[in-house]
């Protein structure tokens, strides 16, 4: 039983192994068959690929050709479009800018765009010819544009009438009737204080509109096209020639003249002084109104044009500035004389007043020469003014005028110098500035005080010399009393008192009193001796009166002689000194009073004491000719400056 089981199990295994072998053989056969089929298929694919390759190559070439054709067509369309735009631009340009300026400017921009296009597409067969034609057309367009710019600028550039300029000034600086000639009647020195008040410092100036605001943008666009075309020089010339002549005409209408140094030298002082006064006003109007207005126009018209605006402004204003400054230079370089000091100071002041505005308006390298010219004139005026001031002190001390002051009154030199000094105090700040600049930073105020004292001392020195011309010592002292009193009174009533000080005033008042005392001593000393009791005692030979109120032993003859001498001397004094002058009322009265206080009591005492000696004799009126009241009345006629030929009162 067991053996059978074992045999059946072995057969089963063999059977399964045989089946497996058979399966493996079939699988191998299938594999070989598939490999064979796949190998055959690969061969056929390779053959097919070989067969299709020419077709693929042709298809790729066709695609590439189509792409190239598309690109060429597109490029041709762009070029044709540029040609079309060129034709449109050409059509507009040929019509000119007058018809439609905005469209004309657009056409120029388009033409420039076309030129840039063809310049960057040099491969185009006809690009050189197209560029040549386009550039030629652009040159014509810019030429027409220049003509249009010139015509437009010219038509809107008109001189500014003086009345319009005066309306732009603060009220205090406007001429009374609104005409330029009104300035000539004003003495700049007389009006100095008026023109330097606080209101003027804050005054508002409104520059006139020189070109209508609506036109400026258009002119700017035209200028920009010319600038882009490289026509800066043509633009500068057109602008300069047009605007400079208009500016010069505006100043001419105002009254500005071209005067040479020789013209100035030959001119009479009164005429020249008036022209200097006008020049000061012209400078203010030119800088604050006309030049400021021109600067504004330049800034707007040449905005963002590099430095062309500065250059155009410098070219436009150069001639006008030169005319104004050359007159100032002619005055600064002319022969110095004392009366010129005040106008020199006026001119110096206006240049200093305008300094910051000149620096602001004339900015940039192109205007450097103009700024330097203005600065140079300011310095020159300062130097000349300072030298003139120094000349004045020297001239006062050396003055040798032969003007006769026979009546002992205030000498013309004294009144001239004092008025001169009083005028100086209207220019205190300016003079202090001058001294500060030239005296190594020293305080200007102390320098001014020192120079003023020197001038006063120079005047006194000169007056001392002039006083010696009088033969009569009493007139010498009356002359000095009058003149120094005039100096003291003038100083006390002016700002000079603060500068010279109370000490100066008090010292010179004492000098006046000393001369008054010297006058009394010299003029009245001799006549008072006639009323003295000395020498009246008889030495014999003449009748005398005894026991008569202290007149005992007094000779009647000597008394008579004394009365006669007194009458003769008083009449002589009266005749002479009635022609002398003490111009100051207060001083005149005080001097008469001082004489009366000495003379009248002595005369009354003499008559009371010795009159009876004469009255008891023959013809007493021959000796006692005047009562004390008569003398007092006649003293009231002294120092009146009466003419010799006038009848006695």
8 Å CB contact between 245 and 318: no
451/458 Cα distance (integer angstroms): 10
* Chain centroid, CA 599 distance in Å: 64
Q: Is 334 left (phi over 0), alpha (psi -120 to 50) or beta?
A: beta
Ordered structural domains, the chain, with CATH? 31-121+128-156 (no CATH), 208-394 (1.20.1280.170), 408-536+553-644 (1.20.1280.170)
Instruction: Write 526-530 long-range contacts (CB < 8 A, 24+).
Output: 526/569, 527/566, 527/569, 527/570, 527/573, 527/599, 528/598, 528/599, 528/602, 530/562, 530/565, 530/566, 530/569
List CB contacts of 277: < 8 A, sequence separation 6 or more: 183, 184, 186, 187, 188, 343, 346
Rg for the chain, CA atoms, rounded: 57
Q: What is the mean pLDDT of each run of 10 residues along the chain (649 residues)?
A: 45 74 78 69 70 76 75 57 57 62 68 69 62 68 84 95 94 70 47 52 86 94 89 94 97 94 92 95 97 96 88 97 96 90 94 95 95 96 91 88 85 93 86 78 70 92 92 96 96 83 94 97 94 73 45 80 95 96 96 96 94 83 91 95 57
106/114 Cα distance (integer angstroms): 12
Output the pLDDT for position 45.
Answer: 66
456/504 Cα distance (integer angstroms): 10
415/423 Cα distance (integer angstroms): 12
User: Around 263, how many Cα atoms within 13 Å sit in the side-chain half-sphere?
Assistant: 11
8 Å CB contact between 516 and 592: no
Residue with tokens 């004045």: 392
Count the neighbouring beta carbons within 10 Å of the beta carbon of residue 630. 12
Count the neighbouring beta carbons within 10 Å of the beta carbon of residue 388. 19
State which H helix or E strand residue 230 sits in.
none
Residue with tokens 């034609």: 133
Q: Strand pairing of 544-545 and 554-555?
A: antiparallel
Phi, psi of 545 (to 5 degrees): -115, 130
8 Å CB contact between 186 and 277: yes
Output the pLDDT for position 19.
Answer: 82
441/607 Cα distance (integer angstroms): 71
222/211 Cα distance (integer angstroms): 15
378/353 Cα distance (integer angstroms): 10
Output the pLDDT for position 400.
Answer: 82
Q: What is the pLDDT of residues 380-419, one digit of tens each?
A: 999 999 899 889 988 898 888 777 789 999 999 999 999 9
Output the pLDDT for position 124.
Answer: 60
* Strand, helix or coil for residue 554: strand
* Among 113, 192, 107, residue whose Cα is nearest residue 141: 107
| Triad 401, 402, 408: Cα angle to 5° | 105
* Chain centroid, CA 66 distance in Å: 80
List CB contacts of 175: < 8 A, sequence separation 6 or more: 166, 182, 183
Enumerate the β-bridge partners of residue 545.
554
Output the pLDDT for position 29.
Answer: 79
Q: What is the DSSP string of 507-531?
A: HHHHHHHHHHHHHHHHHHHHHHHHT
Count the neighbouring beta carbons within 10 Å of the beta carbon of residue 548. 15
Q: Is 186 left (phi over 0), alpha (psi -120 to 50) or beta?
A: beta
Output the pLDDT for position 357.
Answer: 95
649/634 Cα distance (integer angstroms): 9
8 Å CB contact between 192 and 346: yes
Output the pLDDT for position 134.
Answer: 67
Enumerate the β-bridge partners of residue 544.
555
* Alpha carbon separation from 29 to 36, 39, 42, 162, 251 (Å, rounded): 10, 15, 20, 127, 124
* Chain centroid, CA 629 distance in Å: 67
DSSP class of 210: S
């Amino acid at each position: 039983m067991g053996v059978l089981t074992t045999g059946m199990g072995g057969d089963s295994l063999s059977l399964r192994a045989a089946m497996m072998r058979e399966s493996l053989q079939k699988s191998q056969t299938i594999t070989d068959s598939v490999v064979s089929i796949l190998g055959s298929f690969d061969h056929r694919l390779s053959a097919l690929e070989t067969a299709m390759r020419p077709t693929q190559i042709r298809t790729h070439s066709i695609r590439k050709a189509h792409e190239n054709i598309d690109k060429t067509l597109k490029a041709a369309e762009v070029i044709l479009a540029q040609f079309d735009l060129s034709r449109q631009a050409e059509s507009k340009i040929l019509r000119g800018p007058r018809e439609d300026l905005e469209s004309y400017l657009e056409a120029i921009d388009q033409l420039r765009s076309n030129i840039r296009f063809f310049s960057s597409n040099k491969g185009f067969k006809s690009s050189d010819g197209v560029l040549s034609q386009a550039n030629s057309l652009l040159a014509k367009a810019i030429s027409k544009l220049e003509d249009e710019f010139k015509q437009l600028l010219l038509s809107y550039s008109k001189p500014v009438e003086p009345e319009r300029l005066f309306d732009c000034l603060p009220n205090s600086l406007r001429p009374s009737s609104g005409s330029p000639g009104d300035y000539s009647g004003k003495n700049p020195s007389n009006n100095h204080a008026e023109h330097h008040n606080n209101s003027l410092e804050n005054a508002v100036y409104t520059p006139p509109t020189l070109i209508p605001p609506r036109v400026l943008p258009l002119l700017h666009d035209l200028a920009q096209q010319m600038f882009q075309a490289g026509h800066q020089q043509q633009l500068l010339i057109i602008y300069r020639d047009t605007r400079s002549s208009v500016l010069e005409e505006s100043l001419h209408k105002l009254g500005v003249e071209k005067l040479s140094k020789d013209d100035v030298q030959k001119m009479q002082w009164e005429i020249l002084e008036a022209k200097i006064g006008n020049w000061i006003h012209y400078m203010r109007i030119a800088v604050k109104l006309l030049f400021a207005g021109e600067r504004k126009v330049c800034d707007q018209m040449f905005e963002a044009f590099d430095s062309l605006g500065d250059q155009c402004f410098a070219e436009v204003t150069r001639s006008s500035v030169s005319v104004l400054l050359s007159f100032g230079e002619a005055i600064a370089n002319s022969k110095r004389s004392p009366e010129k000091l005040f106008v020199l100071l006026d001119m110096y002041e206006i240049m200093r007043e305008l300094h910051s505005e000149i620096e602001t308006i004339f900015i940039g390298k192109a205007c450097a020469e103009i700024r330097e010219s203005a600065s140079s004139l300011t310095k020159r005026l300062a130097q000349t003014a300072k030298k003139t001031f120094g000349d004045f002190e020297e001239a006062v001390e050396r003055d040798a005028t032969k003007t006769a002051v026979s009546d002992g009154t205030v000498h013309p030199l004294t009144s001239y110098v004092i008025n001169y000094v009083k005028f100086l105090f209207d220019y205190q700040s300016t003079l202090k500035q001058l001294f500060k600049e030239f005296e190594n930073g020293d305080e200007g105020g102390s320098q001014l005080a020192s120079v003023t004292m020197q001038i006063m001392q120079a005047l006194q020195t000169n007056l001392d010399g002039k006083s010696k011309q009088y033969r009569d010592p009493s007139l010498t002292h009356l002359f000095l009393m009058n003149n120094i009193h005039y100096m003291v009174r003038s100083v006390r009533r002016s700002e000079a008192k603060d500068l010279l000080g109370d000490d100066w005033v008090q010292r010179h008042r004492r000098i006046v009193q000393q001369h008054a005392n010297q006058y009394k001593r010299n003029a009245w000393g001799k006549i008072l001796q006639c009323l003295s009791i000395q020498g009246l005692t008889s030495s014999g030979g003449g009748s005398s009166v005894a026991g008569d109120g202290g007149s005992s032993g007094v000779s009647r003859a000597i008394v008579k002689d004394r009365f006669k001498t007194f009458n003769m001397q008083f009449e002589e004094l009266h005749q002479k000194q009635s022609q002398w002058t003490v111009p100051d009322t207060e001083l005149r009265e005080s001097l008469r009073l001082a004489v009366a206080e000495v003379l009248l009591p002595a005369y009354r005492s003499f008559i009371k004491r010795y009159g009876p000696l004469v009255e008891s004799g023959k013809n007493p009126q021959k000796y006692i000719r005047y009562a004390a009241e008569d003398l007092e009345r006649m003293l009231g006629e002294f120092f009146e400056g009466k003419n010799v030929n006038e009848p006695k009162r």
